[in-house]
Structure 1
Amino acid sequence: MKINVSGHHVEVTASVKEHIEEKFAKIATHFPTIISIDAIITKAHGKHYVELTTNYEGTAVSVSANEEVMYPAIAAAGKKLDAALKHRKGQLKAKLHEKPFSTAPDIAYEKVQETNFS
């Protein structure tokens, strides 16, 4: 999985990239179909904002988090992304388990009426 990290008013160092890869390793194992995650780290008004965007099974999934310190903001965004991906996976699985719809109950009734049980 490729993680694209960019910063706005924040210098993205090797330790920040390493921390992000460490936090998202769990997501990569749980959702192997994810190809890339885009992470934008912004500092504004004394807070760090982290926005994560990815594409999962044809749908864009985006989350954001903000904290006073950058590392807890990254962790919070990672937890939110994991929860959003689990929610999306649940929606996809629910469609697989829909009950079949019977289209011809009247035909079955007519067949029973036509049969001779004597």
Structure 2
Amino acid sequence: MQLTITGHHVEVTPALRAYVTEKMQRLSRHFDKVVTVDVILNVEKHTQLAEATVNAGGRTLFANDNADDMYAAIDGLADKIDRQVRRLKDRLRDHHHEKPDYQAAENI
């Protein structure tokens, strides 16, 4: 998994970089086909914004979150994007794999 962290109007400190890396490692634990993760940390007035674009399994997922604290915004972002990745994995795994119920068809 390739992780890119960018800051707009905020300096990406080693602590922020380590925190984002730790949170985004959950994605590769839940779904092994995560190729790239691009995270943008932004500050607008008093709002801290965190955005992520994930390329996984041939799909592109996007999530963003804002909070008063950058760490809280990163936590919310990680939860949102993790939920999307798990949902994508479930969709890919369960796609057309149901066995037809032949007994129900015979009873009609």
Cα separation, 1, equivalents of 2:64 and 2:71: 13
Q: CA deviation at 1:96?
A: 3.3
Return the alpha-carbon distance in structure 1 between the equivalents of residues 61 and 92 of structure 2. Answer: 14
The alignment's TM-score, normalised by the length of structure 1, stands at 0.78
**Cα distance in structure 2, aligned partners of 1:35 and 1:56:** 6
CA RMSD across the alignment:
1.6
Amino acid of the residue matched to residue 66 of structure 1?
N
Bigger share in strand:
2
**C-alpha distance in structure 2 between counterparts of 1:10 and 1:20, whole Å:** 14
Percent of matched pairs sharing the same residue:
31
Q: 1:7-86 alignment to 2 at 5 Å?
A: 7-86=7-86
Q: Give the drift of 1:28.
A: 1.7
Range with bigger deviation, 48-57 or 91-100: 91-100
- Aligned pairs, number: 101
Alignment partners' CA distance in 2, 1:13 and 1:95: 42
Give the match's secondary structure for 2:11. coil
3-state DSSP of counterpart to 1:35: strand
Unaligned ranges ≥5, structure 1: 101-118
1:96 match: secondary structure: coil
Report deviation, 1:93.
Answer: 2.1
Separation in structure 2 between the aligned mates of residue 52 and residue 77 of structure 1, nearest angstrom: 7
Gaps of 5+ in 2: 101-108
Distance in structure 2 (CA, Å) of the matches to 1:99 and 1:45: 55
CA deviations on 1:32-56 (whole Å, 9 max, x unpaired) are 2112200001111311111100111
